[in-house]
Amino acid sequence: MPAIHVHMLTGRTPEQKKAFIKAIAEVTVDILAVPEDAVRIILTEVAPEHWGIGSRDMAEIRAGMKQVGP
């Protein structure tokens, strides 16, 4: 039974997450030749301020990205 645990930042819609789970399940079934009901997919959403890259959290990084432009 494959178990796939995905960590992602919060902010995606329920429809996006549902489509993502479906796509991951389909690929897993195709590549690993397992029945679909054997595939487990766990999405863990993390707040941007709890996800760090280097010394900055993603809330800071995203804020800086919004400021970049013409």
pLDDT for 57? 94
CB neighbour list of residue 45: distance below 8 Å, 6 or more residues apart = 8, 9, 10, 12
Given a cut of 70, the residues of the chain with pLDDT beneath it are 67-70
pLDDT for 5? 98
3-67: in CATH 3.30.429.10: yes
User: CA-CA distance, 5 to 46, in Å (whole number)?
Assistant: 13
The question of whether 2 is a catalytic residue gets the answer: yes
Q: Which of 2, 14, 35, 70 is catalytic?
A: 2
Neighbours of 16 (CB within 10 A): 11
pLDDT for 64? 87
Full-model pTM: 0.83
pLDDT for 70? 55
User: CA-CA distance, 39 to 59, in Å (whole number)?
Assistant: 33
pLDDT for 66? 73
pLDDT for 65? 83
